[in-house]
Amino acid sequence: MRTQVAIVGGGPAGLLLSHLLHRRGIASVVLEGRDRAYVERRQRAGMLEQGTTDVLRESGAGERLDREGLVHHGLELRFGGAGHRIPLTDLTGRTVTVYAQTEIVKDLVALRLADGGDVRFEAEVLEIDASAPSVTYRQDGRTHTLECDYVAGCDGFHGVSRPTVPGLRTFSREYPFAWLGILADVPPSTHELIYANHERGFALHSLRSPKVSRLYLQVPPDEDLGAWPDTRIWDELAARLATGDGWELRQGPVTDRSITPMRSFVAEPMRHDRLFLAGDAAHIVPPTGAKGLNLAVADVTVLARALTERYASGSETLLDGYSATCLRRAWRAEHFSYWMTTLLHVDPAADPFALRLQRSHLDYVASSEAAATTLAENYVGLPFD
């Protein structure tokens, strides 16, 4: 078997890359270790930057996004019992959109299959050869080898692509807290996201749809999910999100819950010979800045453009610059995500001096247009170009 680009991983990065290449006449095969049902129901965040929505729309993958996505023009920082709105659009001219990663994956799977795309589920990748490019995988009890011109490693933090790259430099940071996240069948109590700093820890009120809420609590990284019955979750959310103006948190049935560790991670370079890393295979950000999915989209947009140039003209200039181009954006997102995380979370080891510095910083962001603009332009996303 042979194709032009073998794509390891059938999440949003791999599927979008395959879709973008198809629209440019470049053949690809997507190899995904999980079954289709698992991939389409895997819960992930879904705050899309302006650039991400632009890419999806321009590629023809934005029909349901435009119909069901919730466009936001601001967000709220909440601390000291009061809310402080950051007017994202007024400060930047750009917006963000709430549309779950789960739905993006469903849209892209449907598009690829409708176009006759080759997406192979339950295909366990065993080995990647980056020099004489090929991918060996097991499917239906049989081992196959897929030869190709290039390999795109879009298989996430725990995938097989990154360990294939020799001599990687890695940079990482573990945070002394995690997020307990829930989905609840209740209309959101807010029209824009609320990022709350409270002496008992961070809380986030997000939303999934007009009828479904997504909420998070800061918890210790080794927290037992079983120690959090619904009543305790709602009580803690209400306490951390409380204001002095009578705002009330709506409560409803919890349909999903999980604990997510917080880490920052970058691997350099993002290319080895004919293998290119993209998305979580190359970098992880704490979710506070809402950058993970958007970085993955930026990576594969750059890679699709570079491969298009290669097949159209024979030039590898853009391919040669792929790693440096993507890492510039990744490190900016890493810094912003770290900044948002340390601005809003309570470090259990922080002394009173550090806590007062944090509060001073929050006051500054809420009162200074310059500081608010820095937050806003990073949150809505820097231009892809």
pLDDT tens readout for residues 97-118: 999 899 999 999 999 999 999 9
pLDDT classification of 246: cutoffs 50, 70, 90? confident
Does the pLDDT value for residue 172 go beyond 90? yes
Does the pLDDT value for residue 155 go beyond 80? yes
Read off the pTM. Answer: 0.95
CA–CA distance, 136 with 61 (Å, rounded to integer): 30
Q: What pairing do the DSSP bridges indicate for beta strands 82-86 and 28-31?
A: unpaired
Domains and CATH numbers, the chain: 5-71+96-172+263-341 (3.50.50.60), 175-262+347-380 (3.30.9.10)
- Summarised one tens digit per residue, pLDDT across range 184-206 is 999 999 999 999 999 999 999 99
Q: Which of 160, 158, 154, 168 is nearest to 267 (CA)?
A: 168
Does the pLDDT value for residue 290 go beyond 90? yes
* Cα distances (Å, whole numbers) of residue 98 to 24, 71, 211: 28, 6, 13
In terms of C-beta density within 10 A (0-12 exposed, 13-18 middle, 19 or more buried), how is residue 140 classed? exposed
pLDDT on residue 385: 67
- Summarised one tens digit per residue, pLDDT across range 17-62 is 999 999 999 999 999 999 999 998 876 768 999 999 999 999 999 9
Amino acid at 66: D
CA–CA distance, 247 with 337 (Å, rounded to integer): 28
Instruction: Please give the share of the chain, as a percent, with pLDDT higher than 70.
Output: 99
Maximum CA pair distance of the chain? Answer: 65
- Mean pLDDT for 79-104 is 96
**Hey, which residues are catalytic here?**
72, 195, 287, 291, 379
